[in-house]
């Protein structure tokens, strides 16, 4: 079984060397702003993935068997109404 893995790894190494070693030059020009554009795109994708993960964190956590409780409930406060009610209460 171990020799079979070594054969597969050797074949993969030969294919990788052949693919990258014998590639033709592209003769393409990439100006400095192209690197900035690629970096901005990668950072934007990472930020979007991070926001999506943060947004759906509790659903993902519950899906994989984390905390069995539902999403933590955040009590919305109606500030105007509650402020009036609190001011009307006797001290």
Secondary structure string (H, E, C) spanning 37-86: HHHHHHHHHHHHHHHHHHHCHHHHHHHCCCCCCCCCCCCCCCHHHHHHHH
Supply the range of the domain harboring residue 50: 2-88
What is the rounded CA–CA span in Å between residue 44 and residue 48?
A: 6
| 45 vs 87, higher pLDDT | 45
What is the reported pLDDT for 59? 84
For residue range 61-76, what is the model confidence (pLDDT) as tens digits? 888 886 555 555 555 5
For residue range 12-52, what is the model confidence (pLDDT) as tens digits? 999 988 888 887 888 888 888 998 999 999 999 999 999 99
Domain count, the chain: 1
């Amino acid at each position: 079984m171990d020799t079979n893995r070594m054969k597969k790894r050797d074949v993969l190494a030969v294919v990788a060397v052949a693919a990258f070693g014998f590639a033709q030059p592209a003769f393409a020009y990439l100006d400095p702003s192209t690197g900035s554009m690629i970096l901005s795109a990668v950072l934007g994708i990472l930020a979007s993935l991070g926001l999506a993960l943060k947004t759906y964190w509790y659903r993902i956590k519950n899906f994989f068997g984390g905390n069995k409780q539902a999403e933590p409930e955040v009590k919305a406060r109606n500030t105007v109404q509650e402020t009036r009610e609190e001011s009307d209460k006797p001290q």
